[in-house]
Amino acid sequence: MSSEKITISTVLGWKLDSARFAAADAMNAGITLEAESLNADKAIQGSESYFGEAAGSAARTMSTKLKNEAVTSGDVLDAIHKQIDTTTAELFSDLVNLQSVVDEVEESEWNLFYDDETGDVKSYDSNWETIKKNWGNPASVAWKTADCLRLGASLKQAYWDVQATDKIGARNLATQLEHVSQDVKLALAGIPDDAALRDILLNYQVDTTKSEIVVWPDSTLLNLIRLQDLDIQPVEMTAEEKAAMDELCNPLHGGNPLNYKKFNDIKEEAVSFGKDNKYTAVNENSKDDGHADAARHAYWNARMTQEFGADWAKQYASAHEMVGGNGPQREAMDLKNNDVGRQIGLANMNASKDDLKTAVIAAVDKGDTVVIHSPNGDKAPAQIAFSNTVPWKDTTSPPSVDIPLPGKGK
């Protein structure tokens, strides 16, 4: 649940010109694709005088279908360009506001400074020094303290706003890929020949959220949780994922902030297990879409099942995949291995962590889980495979953002 820390000075140094260039490239690509597809279809539709009968009719029907799919893809590129432009404009506004608060802190008469990571505002001067600088007036300490609290609250909110815009914009951009036509999605996915793997690939998919991407926790809950864990950073998530986390941690929704530490500890356990095991000893990259990754997801869900119940574990883990833009192989792998982990958790509700890890490793070795590999070489599309059929060193990773498949609710 943690993410890489972004400091105030880091975001104030962001340059947005490259984002504007990327938006223009997406717009131009969409225009070119649509124009070329329309011109090609126009030429094929005019072929009836010399390419008739059934074959010609079929070709013209297929051309119409491909033209429509290309136009839809062009619309997606246009939506990407608009999303980049929108997010860039919002970020610019947020950065101006953040800089304004920073300037107020630095120009304050109270000799203030701010914590680059948290946004807390303090004074370089002790209370005694403040009184001396203000003609011995003890009330000056109260005025300084009030300004520290006011500016600290403003800086934290402005800092949070920048991170929220950045994270939400990135995820909204990824969700635009959901609008590619279903036929294009299926063609690009590369369906496995094995019937069981084909069922896993097609059925272990979730639809993208229909709601806007949000950032959790909000500034109030963030500060409440930080009373026990100072390292938490706000992260982008689906509305469904937020609902699950609020149910677990937010007092306004029946949750308990203390549950966050339990949740985060479980995640860290799983991450550590995924990095240090017999699979990574052979192939360090196994932690990314390989056997170690399968073990991490299974253990994570098994532990969440032990601690919070299988229903909540499924609610959260499935909602976690609804951000949009997920490659179909990775999404199927994660959802399938999550499912295997919950079953292991249910069968071992009172097991120790070590026993649970042993059960997970046994499931990976047996082939209950799936991994990703390139069956026909590195240049071939990556595909899922049962974990007992692929050597530990031969797994691979698909693109982190890719054309998704239709969701089936698992």
Instruction: Note the pLDDT tens digit of each residue in 126-165.
Output: 999 999 999 989 999 999 999 999 999 999 999 989 988 9
Rounded-to-integer distance, Cα 270 and Cα 263, Å: 11
Q: 294 phi and psi, to 5 degrees?
A: -60, -40
Residue 1 has pLDDT above 50, yes or no: no
Q: Which of 186, 185, 235 is nearest to 6 (CA)?
A: 235
Stretch among 166-170, 337-341, 393-397, 398-402 having the lowest mean pLDDT? 398-402
Higher pLDDT, 318 or 408: 318
| Mean pLDDT value across residues 354-374 | 96
Q: Is the Cβ–Cβ distance between 407 and 205 less than 8 Å?
A: yes
Stretch among 30-39, 73-82, 397-406 having the lowest mean pLDDT? 397-406
Looking at every residue in the chain, the average pLDDT score rounds to 89
Higher pLDDT, 180 or 310: 310
Residue 172 has pLDDT above 50, yes or no: yes
H or E segment at 16? none
Query: Quick one: pLDDT at residue 230?
Result: 62
Q: Which of 171, 186, 212, 194 is nearest to 326 (CA)?
A: 171
Share of the chain above pLDDT 90, in %: 62
